[in-house]
Amino acid sequence: MNHETQHSNDSSEDGVVADDRVRIFDTTLRDGEQAPGFGMDRRAKLRMAHALEALGVDVMEAGFPQASPDDFAAVADIAKAVRHSTVCALARCQAADIDTAGRALEAAQHSRIHVFLSTSPLHREHKLGMSKQQVIDTAIAAVERARALCHEVEFSAEDAMRTEPDYLAEVFSAAIAAGATTVNAPDTVGYVTPAEIAERFAYLRKHVKGAERVVFSSHCHDDLGMAVANSLAAVSAGARQIECTINGIGERAGNASLEEVVMALRVRGPYFGVDSRIDARRLVQTSRLLTQLTGQAVPRNKAIVGDNAFAHESGIHQHGMLKHRGTYEIMRPQDVGMGETKLVLGKHSGRHALRSRLQALGHTPEEAAMDDIFARFKALADKKREIHDEDLEALALGQDPDAAGPWRIVQLNSSSHLGGSASASVRLAHDDGREIGEAAIGDGPVDAVLRAMERATGTDLELTQFQVRAVSEGGDAQGQAQLTARHAARNWRGNGVSTDIVEATALAALSIVNRIERQAAPSAAAQPQVQGATA
């Protein structure tokens, strides 16, 4: 099958390649998929291919058809389905691989065969057993064979960054003469530094014959954590294709992350002077689809797509964000499809963020109440990893103004015994300077703590109603204890909120005792009738 070679490289009339944008060559479905734990069958690969096309990748490397019947079928499926990206297949410089790739790509709207061959001394000698000239001859034969079977050919010099620069230029010159329209210089083992790769690409663009007619491509691995930086350094030195993967998946430590490369070019556009055509608003959904298809999640701190990428917990950051978003964000979450910025309330949060959230929930506590709410918030946050809105509601509720009073809990312990009984001990402090400790045994921890509270405060509480309800999510959810007790021929109601239901009960009892004591105080007559107290 002969194909008129059509440059998908946007080359101008005289064959000089347009320099104005970076082509995104996604290899999620090949380099990404070949890594342990990330395998996908043909159905999964087709679903991912549709997402990559919608994302706007210029090229998607759909697989390695010679690898297996299922990978051949996956490439063929994708070639049939995808219309707005070039569909690429990888092949060794062996006739059978190349012919198989050509067959798999037959239905493609725009097809590319990507042939590769090692060029470094170590690979030449120990892996291939080839001389320099044999490598060149093999590469030429492979490119010429592939040209007859697809629209365009890419040649990769595997382990290019550990290849002698002058020899690498010689190999690329031969591949271009044979018909390659893209030449790719992979950092196959993730070895090079940004300064070195920039120097190498500048050298290649100067010394490769036909350089002006082809696209130079960079394919970086992350063994030393420099894949994205190296890819961007290559762009600065003239590379106009970056090979990358969603979530940075790939061999060993993975490849350059597509979302990071794309957003670096987008956010620092003036610095790089070129951009890709990726629809960045689809980055998060594409990342999550890959997670769903492979079952491999990304870490919370993953750049661009991680759950924490636009989440702020520390009080200083939250205060800054409330004043001006640019204090701690260099892009908007909406730009990558992440939704809204999150100010996560937790033990590192400050008053500004807490007040802001309470106001959003309809609570406008007075300054004095705010200090107490903040203290209870911090105590709660020390126990819970994240504070949910329900927790805040409960705190605001639990901070019933009537509940404030002379008594406060200093220490509380309880333990259950075989057979169901329990013991509890409390240490309470009073505004008048008293500090009282008492212990009690009860039918269970709630009964025991109520008895201990009665003993410590000298207040008889005849429990008439006891309700507990979860007021937030998760295993460490808070519970709200609501008590009704009779004292001095009246019903008194109190509530307490805590992740520990025994503590919630103690707080509820304390709110009743405080209310009773305030009621008994000389100025009580001036106070309004309190909620929950009935004759």
Ligand X SMILES: CC(C)C(=O)C(=O)O
Query: What residue numbers does the annotated binding site for Mn(2+) cover?
Result: 31, 219, 221, 255
Beta bridge partners of 277: none
Least distance CB 187 / ligand ACO (angstroms): 11
Residue in 137, 139, 184 with CA at minimum distance from that of residue 30: 184
User: What CA–CA distance (Å, rounded) separates 74 from 104?
Assistant: 9
Q: Which residues contact 187 (CB under 8 A, 6 or more apart)?
A: 160, 161, 197, 218, 219, 220, 221, 227, 230
Distance between CA 53 and CA 138 in Å, rounded?
Answer: 33
Q: How many other C-beta atoms lie within 10 A of the C-beta of residue 240?
A: 22
Element (H, E) at 97: helix 95-104
What's the CA gap between 114 and 117, in Å, rounded? 10
Pattern 163-202, binding to ligand ACO, x per CB under 6 A? Answer: -------------------------x--------------
Q: Which residues are annotated as a binding site?
A: 31, 219, 221, 255
**Candidate residues 57, 117, 183, 235; the one interacting with ligand ACO per rule CB under 6 A:** 117
Query: Least distance to ligand X from the beta carbon of 52, Å?
Result: 17
Write out the E strands in 237-286: 241-244
- Contact (CB, 8 A) for 43 and 76: no
Q: Contact between 377 and ligand ACO (CB under 6 A)?
A: no
For position 348 contacting ligand ACO by CB under 6 A, the verdict is no
What is the smallest separation between the CB atom of 34 and ligand X, expressed in angstroms? 9
Count the alpha carbons within 13 Å of 53 in the hemisphere toward its beta carbon: 20
How does DSSP classify residue 529?
P
Q: For binding to ligand X (CB under 6 A), which residues are involved? A: 31, 116, 156, 158, 184, 186, 188, 219, 221
Q: Which is nearer to ligand ACO, 155 or 377 (CB)?
A: 155
393: three-class secondary structure by DSSP: helix
439, 416 Cβ separation under 8 angstroms = no
CA distances from 320 to 19, 341, 358 (A): 40, 13, 18
Q: Please give the torsion angle defined by the CA atoms of residues 25, 29, 34 and 35, in that order, rounded to the nearest 10 degrees.
A: 80
Is position 155 an interface residue for ligand ACO (rule: CB under 6 A)? no
Instruction: Select the binding partner of residue 505 from ligand ACO, ligand X, none (C-beta < 5 to 8 A, by kind).
Output: none
Q: Which does 332 bind (CB under 5 to 8 A by kind): ligand X, ligand ACO, none?
A: none
Longest dimension (CA), the chain: 104
Our measurement of the distance from residue 178's CA atom to the centroid of its chain's CA atoms, rounded to an integer in Å, reads 43
- In the complex, least distance from residue 472 CB atom to ligand ACO, rounded to whole angstroms: 48
Q: How many CB atoms lie within 10 A of CB 413?
A: 13
Q: Is 294 in the site for ligand ACO (CB under 6 A)?
A: no
- From the list ligand X, ligand ACO, none, partner contacted by residue 219 (C-beta under 5 to 8 A by kind): ligand X
By CB under 6 A, tell whether 259 contacts ligand ACO.
no
Sequence letter at residue 168: L
Q: Which of 33, 35, 58, 64 binds ligand ACO (CB under 6 A)?
A: 64
When CB distances are held under 5 to 8 angstroms depending on the partner's kind, the choice from ligand ACO, ligand X, none that residue 128 binds is ligand ACO
The backbone torsions φ and ψ at residue 122, rounded to the nearest 5 degrees and listed phi first, read -65, -45
- Side chain identity at residue 71, one-letter code: D
Which one among 128, 202, 404, 409 touches ligand ACO, defined by CB under 6 A?
Answer: 128
Does 207 bind ligand ACO (CB under 6 A)? Our answer is no
- Shortest gap between Cβ of 175 and ligand ACO (angstroms)? 13
Please tell me whether residue 34 binds ligand ACO under the rule CB under 6 A: yes
Residue 156 binds which one of ligand X, ligand ACO, none, with CB within 5 to 8 A depending on kind?
ligand X
Total residues in contact with ligand ACO, by rule CB under 6 A: 15
Q: Is 21 in the site for ligand ACO (CB under 6 A)?
A: no
Q: Among 526, 453, 441, which residue's Cα sits nearest to residue 492?
A: 453
Q: Which is nearer to ligand X, 184 or 482 (CB)?
A: 184
List the single partner that 217 binds among ligand X, ligand ACO, none, CB under 5 to 8 Å by kind.
none
Cβ proximity to ligand ACO, 127 vs 281, nearer residue: 127
Is residue 253 a contact point for ligand ACO (CB under 6 A)? Answer: no
When binding is defined by CB under 6 A, the residue of 53, 58, 152, 158 that contacts ligand ACO is: 158
Q: Show contacts with ligand ACO in window 72-111 (CB under 6 A).
A: 92-94
- Please identify, among the stretches 35-43, 60-68, 204-212, 305-313, the one whose residues bind ligand ACO according to the rule CB under 6 A: 60-68
CB-based contact 387:346 (threshold 8 Å): yes
Interacting residue ranges for ligand ACO, rule: CB under 6 A: 31, 34, 64, 66-67, 92-94, 116-117, 127-128, 158, 188, 251
